[in-house]
Amino acid sequence: MTCIVALRFAILACRAQSARQNNANLQGLIAHLHIGYFTLIAVVEIISSFFLIRIFHQAKKSSAEIASRGGLFRYLTQSTELRLATLMLIGISRAVTYSFQKTARASDVTGQLDRFVATLECCFPMVM
Residues spanned by the domain of 11: 2-127
Mean pLDDT in residue range 28-55: 82
Asked whether residue 51 carries a pLDDT value surpassing 70, the answer given is yes
Q: Are 97 and 113 in contact (CB under 8 A)?
A: yes
Side chain identity at residue 70, one-letter code: G
pTM for the predicted model, two decimal places: 0.59
Other beta carbons within 10 Å of 31: 16
Please count the structural domains in the chain: 1
